[in-house]
Structure 1
Amino acid sequence: MKSVTIQQPEKLVIEERPVPQPQPGEVRIRVSSAGICGSDVHIYRGHNPFAKYPRVIGHEFFGHIDAVGEGVESSRIGERVVGDPVVSCGHCYPCLVGRPNVCAELQVVGVHRDGGFSEYVTLPAHNAHRVPDSIPDNEATMVEPFTIAANICSQMNPGPLDTALVYGAGPMGLTSIQALRGVYGVKEIIVADRIDERLDMAKANGADRVINNTHIELKTELEKLGIRPTLIIDAACHPSILPEAIGIASPAARIGIMGFSSDPCVLSQQAITSKELTIYSSRLNSNRFPMVINWMTERKIQPEKLITHQYAYTQVLDAMELFEKDQKQCCKVLLKF
């Protein structure tokens, strides 16, 4: 089989590998399409501290089960499925309290174990989620990105009383906007970004108001508008954002952090406790695949709006370069296998 492998940072090859055989409790998926994520580029560039090389990357993938291991019903062969990349132990404290995404022995497909940028991939059978025929292949490939939004929203519990502020109109921000609008029905969504074309995407995906904060202080601009966000999602994850968000937030607001920077930031304890703010962090997803598949089935979200480019897997370097460098026109890129 052909696999996209990062042999070491900055060295990507498409190589021939043996077709993997599913182990007991596993299934093998014949991959049809896979999405490029920022973390794939980070592994390629050598900026992901969790990755070990060589590594077949890719954690957003869709395909069909074509083989099963011992203990898995053979009737699953032929199922249209998406793969949850979170592989957990099931017995540590996080797993026992329903948070396998921070398992003490966490393995992420495409990071700690080989991923979906390959003609075939194996993973535990319970990580392969059946996709109804009503969801087209391309949209099915988008389930995993929306689970990231589902995870933070499930913690923050948005609702119709909320005025939401989303930092960043990249893929994470846009999936969050769609969820806030189509699933949770928040009152108003404001989006801040520094690229006008990304702000246009935010409007197309449900934002009520957009602000280019390249040359303005966002806190001052929101005060002029009389807006005090009750729910803030940081989908840009620069260390300067959280301190600013704490200052902008309404009393009793919730703040959600969707990614991470290794750089420190300085926070005021008084600013947090005086408003009794709640701050959530979110990593990957915690069993959110069925939730997102249901959203798609009920047409509460529109994943096709985020797919801007498609490439054959043999053009993976071109696709990754486009994803990395064209932030004005590119959102989600799918590879076809």
Structure 2
Amino acid sequence: MALPHTMAAVLLIGHGGLDKLEYRTDVSVPQPAADEVLIQVDAAAVNNTDINTRLGWYSKTVEEATNVGGAEGFSEISNDDAGWSGTPLKFPRIQGADVVGHIVAVGSAVDASRIGERVMVRNMLRHYVDRRHYESWTLGSECDGGFAQFVAIASAETHAVLSDWSDAALAAVPCS
């Protein structure tokens, strides 16, 4: 299967309201690193982590409930600590912590037999922090996630799905 060079994705361009989400059709398809797989996203759920990250609610300066930020975001946040891990996010970011799809390409250190496999992605990613206790990256926060046609992610963070559940039903599972 020949992969496209560009894809559709929803980019988060900064903390704030719905105006910080931008739909684009010219985003480069990610290339998997040696230990990664490329997933064609079949479904991605929207959860509180995605919303709270967009709003900047994880900033230590926010003291209100998440519903106060609603669709507009919070008026005063610190971008220095407004990511899930307490570190600044890099924009633009593709959000989407809950991903279900099929592996369409693999990095050089991943067995090619995984191509075609239906997978779910663990959204609290331990691989990228060398599996240190109490540390992780969040898919769609510290790295690009599933609000796109494709996502590259560590092979070790993907899990084969042998289920008759729909893609949408499965995408509702990871973060919850």
1:142 equivalent to 2:166? Answer no
Match among 119, 123, 135 for residue 153 of structure 2: 123
CA shift for structure 1 position 28: 0.6
* Distance in 1 separating the partners of 2:8 and 2:168: 21
Match among 59, 66, 90 for residue 130 of structure 2: 90
1:64 equivalent to 2:120? Answer no
Question: In structure 2, what is the equivalent of residue 34 of structure 1?
Answer: 44
Question: In structure 2, what is the equivalent of residue 54 of structure 1?
Answer: 92
TM-score, with structure 1 as normaliser: 0.39
Distance verdict in 2 for CA 1:91–1:143, change over 3 Å: closer
TM-score, with structure 2 as normaliser: 0.71
SS in 2 for 1:145: coil
Q: Gapped runs of 5+ residues in structure 1?
A: 95-101, 147-337
* Distance in 1 separating the partners of 2:14 and 2:111: 38
SS in 2 for 1:32: strand
Instruction: Considering fraction of residues, name the structure with more helix.
Output: 1
Q: What letter corresponds to residue 23 of structure 2 in structure 1?
A: I
SS in 2 for 1:71: coil
Contact 1:81 1:128 in 2 (8 A): yes
* Distance in 2 separating the partners of 1:87 and 1:41: 19
* Distance in 2 separating the partners of 1:126 and 1:65: 13
* Distance in 2 separating the partners of 1:82 and 1:91: 19
| Higher RCO structure (Cα 8 Å, ≥6 apart) | 2
* Distance in 2 separating the partners of 1:137 and 1:108: 21
Contact 1:82 1:143 in 2 (8 A): no
* Distance in 1 separating the partners of 2:146 and 2:34: 20
CA shift for structure 1 position 60: 0.6
Q: How does 1:242-321 map to 2 (within 5 A)?
A: none
Contact 1:85 1:108 in 2 (8 A): yes
SS in 2 for 1:23: coil
Contact 2:11 2:93 in 1 (8 A): yes
CA shift for structure 1 position 13: 0.1
SS in 1 for 2:37: strand
Q: What letter corresponds to residue 26 of structure 1 in structure 2?
A: E
Match among 5, 12, 17 for residue 6 of structure 1: 12
Aligned residues: 136
1:24 equivalent to 2:30? Answer no
Question: In structure 2, what is the equivalent of residue 213 of structure 1?
Answer: none
- Percentage identity across aligned positions? 31
CA shift for structure 1 position 80: 0.6
CA shift for structure 1 position 91: 5.1
Distance verdict in 2 for CA 1:122–1:55, change over 3 Å: same
CA shift for structure 1 position 54: 2.1
1:110 equivalent to 2:140? Answer yes
Q: What letter corresponds to residue 142 of structure 2 in structure 1?
A: H
Distance verdict in 2 for CA 1:91–1:126, change over 3 Å: closer
CA shift for structure 1 position 45: 2.0
Q: What letter corresponds to residue 66 of structure 1 in structure 2?
A: V
SS in 1 for 2:140: coil
RMSD: 1.6
* Distance in 2 separating the partners of 1:57 and 1:136: 21
Q: What letter corresponds to residue 168 of structure 2 in structure 1?
A: N
CA shift for structure 1 position 139: 2.2
Contact 2:10 2:21 in 1 (8 A): yes
